[in-house]
Structure 1
């Protein structure tokens, strides 16, 4: 997992819960990196999982809830880092339907060894989109947070329903209907 995911996560934890919480969850975890991350480094997903588990235990916020908030936060990182990429799109449905075939390809140019979830478009209309998310990391609520902010970016709203295809969350259907 790319370091930017860790650095931004810890920045969010500091903003929401304070530097003491950052120290606490790092110290509670058994991290090969010792909690020292660079945005261009690559780290084990197990480290993120430990940080999330400890933050969840400390805050009584579910891991899915934390991932949703983090996904919403991470959209601002994308907006700041890739403004040209976002400017390519005029509509949130268009943008979300191009995650696999355009956005991930562009980001891979910067982070060639990045591992992304797979998004398969099952059905697309002007105002709706059905996509299948597949990832061994089961971070679909992070994706939901990004989707929420995508609609906000385009001054739009949507109903987004998650249906777990696999109970462990490694395969999820997103049913998106633009309001």
Structure 2
């Protein structure tokens, strides 16, 4: 997993809960990296799971809720670092529909070793989209957080329903309906 995911996660934890909590979740985790991440490094996903588990214990929030919050935070990171990716789209549905065939292609140009989830579009209208998310990491709530902020960025809201297609959450159907 790309180091940027780790560094931004720890930035969010520090922003919301303080540097002491960052230190606490790192110390409680058995991290091969010792919690020293660079944005261009590559780290084992099990480290993120440990950090999330310890943050969940500290905050009493579920891992899914933490991933949702992190996805919402991460959208602002993407907007700041890659404004051209987002400004290239006129509405949130078009942006979401382009994840697989445009945005991820561009991400792989920047980070060829990135392991990205896949998003297959089943249906799309001007105000709705249904897509299948597949990832061995089962971070669909992270995706849901990014989706919420995508709609907010375009001045609207949406209903984002998750339909888990397997027991471990590595395959999820997103049913998204723009509200305003």
Category of TM-score, reference length = shorter chain: over 0.9
1:79-158 maps to which residues of 2 (within 5 A)? 79-158=79-158
Report the CA distance between 1:107 and its aligned residue: 1.1
Separation in 2 of the partners of 1:95 and 1:134? 18
Alpha-carbon RMSD: 0.5
2:163 aligns with 163
Separation in 2 of the partners of 1:160 and 1:76? 19
2:13 aligns with 13
- Where do 5+ consecutive residues of structure 1 fail to align? none
Separation in 2 of the partners of 1:51 and 1:81? 24
1:56-67 maps to which residues of 2 (within 5 A)? 56-67=56-67
Q: Which structure 1 residue ranges, 4+ long, deviate > 2 Å from structure 2?
A: none
- Where do 5+ consecutive residues of structure 2 fail to align? none
1:34 aligns with 2:34: yes
Report the CA distance between 1:14 and its aligned residue: 0.4
Separation in 1 of the partners of 2:42 and 2:25? 20
Separation in 2 of the partners of 1:62 and 1:83? 31
1:46 aligns with 46
Q: TM-score, normalised by structure 2?
A: 0.98
Separation in 2 of the partners of 1:35 and 1:166? 32
Report the CA distance between 1:168 and its aligned residue: 1.3
Separation in 2 of the partners of 1:79 and 1:108? 18
Q: TM-score, normalised by structure 1?
A: 0.99
Aligned residues: 179
Separation in 2 of the partners of 1:63 and 1:177? 25
- The alignment partner of 2:67 has SS state of helix
- The alignment partner of 1:35 has SS state of coil
Report the CA distance between 1:36 and its aligned residue: 0.1
